[in-house]
């Protein structure tokens, strides 16, 4: 099989960031991509002005690319924040305020996946109380995702880079998705399998794929070490993606790597044109 047999999208929140947000969809299209994903672009504003939402929607539509994934509000990314939905007080309130705004925006573009980052452990807060708050908020997000015909993705990160983030194994991510499904009764929570984060954690990636491919709703990749493009590190990403397909995963693979010191458009030479153009 190989890279040519996958469906790739490009994450416009980590690639093409040398350009203003509204120019990135067209840049992705010019590089041959038919699909994109985004972190929540307004890091301080869970509900931006309608004009800002409309401008981004038009930029995506005018570029002729498909939005296939959108993060719910998660604070500052990249940065010290690692999600908001389990953080008591203002941050979880921001998350709740964002749910319908993000779902409506995603739904208007036919986006099939909303991604939720859990949130850091907070000093002085009871972890059990944070977990209860998180489940409550994730059920609300699952309902919003169901309303637009989307899945809700549960993302795990890695402990070295996110030491206060409690979901740092594949097992923890899948277990939480199962709990959300049980609590919501909707069955639309899925695991986001980020091969970079899992590799930094030292997980057995072939075993993770074999065990959890059926619970996976989206895949993201970057090489390790360095979080660069495939081929810049030592991960056998082509083999791992082949294994995912053999295990039954036929969804999107998001490119969530850092371009390094090159313009983003120059970092895709490893990827066949046919795999970029998939819609």
Q: Is 237 exposed, middle or buried (0-12, 13-18, 19+ CB in 10 A)?
A: buried
Structure tokens at 18: 């040398």
Task: Pick the closest to residue 275 from 259, 254, 246 (CA basis).
Answer: 254
Whether 155 is catalytic is yes
Rounded CA-CA distance 112/65 in Å is 14
Task: Pick the closest to residue 152 from 110, 186, 119, 199 (CA basis).
Answer: 186
Catalytic residue among 37, 91, 203, 256: 256
Which residue is associated with the tokens 């458009």? 265
Which whole-number Å values give the CA distances from 215 to 176, 184, 221, in the listed order? 11, 16, 17
Which residue is associated with the tokens 């206060």? 164
Query: What SS3 state is found at 231?
Result: coil
Rounded CA-CA distance 209/240 in Å is 8
Catalytic residue among 90, 155, 175, 203: 155
Rounded CA-CA distance 126/265 in Å is 45
Whether 182 is catalytic is no
For the chain, helix (H) and strand (E) counts, in that order, are 9, 8
Which whole-number Å values give the CA distances from 88 to 4, 118, 136, 162, 176, in the listed order? 44, 12, 12, 19, 19
Structure tokens at 152: 């809700």
Catalytic residues: 155, 256
């Amino acid at each position: 099989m190989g890279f040519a047999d996958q469906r790739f999208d490009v994450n416009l929140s980590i690639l093409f960031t040398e350009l203003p947000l509204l120019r990135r969809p067209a840049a992705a299209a010019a590089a041959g991509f038919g699909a994109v994903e985004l972190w929540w672009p307004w890091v301080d504003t869970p509900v931006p002005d309608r004009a800002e939402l409309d401008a981004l929607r038009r930029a995506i539509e005018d570029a002729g690319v498909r939005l296939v994934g959108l993060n719910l509000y998660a604070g500052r990314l990249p940065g010290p924040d690692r999600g908001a939905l389990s953080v008591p007080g203002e941050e979880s309130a921001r998350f709740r305020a964002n749910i319908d705004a993000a779902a409506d925006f995603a739904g208007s573009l036919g986006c099939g996946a909303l991604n939720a980052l859990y949130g850091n452990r907070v000093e002085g807060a009871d972890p059990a109380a944070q977990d209860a708050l998180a489940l409550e908020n994730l059920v609300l997000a699952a309902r919003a995702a169901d309303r637009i015909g989307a899945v809700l993705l549960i993302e795990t990160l890695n402990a070295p880079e996110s030491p206060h983030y409690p979901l740092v194994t594949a097992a923890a991510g899948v277990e939480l998705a199962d709990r959300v499904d049980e609590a919501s009764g909707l069955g639309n929570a899925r695991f986001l399998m980020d091969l970079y984060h899992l590799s930094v954690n030292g997980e057995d990636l072939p075993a993770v794929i074999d065990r959890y491919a059926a619970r996976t709703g989206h895949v993201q990749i970057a090489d390790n070490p360095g979080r660069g493009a495939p081929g810049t590190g030592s991960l056998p990403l082509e083999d791992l993606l082949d294994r995912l397909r053999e295990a039954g995963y036929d969804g999107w693979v998001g490119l969530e790597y850092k371009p390094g010191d090159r313009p983003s458009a120059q970092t895709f030479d490893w990827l066949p044109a046919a795999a970029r153009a998939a819609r």
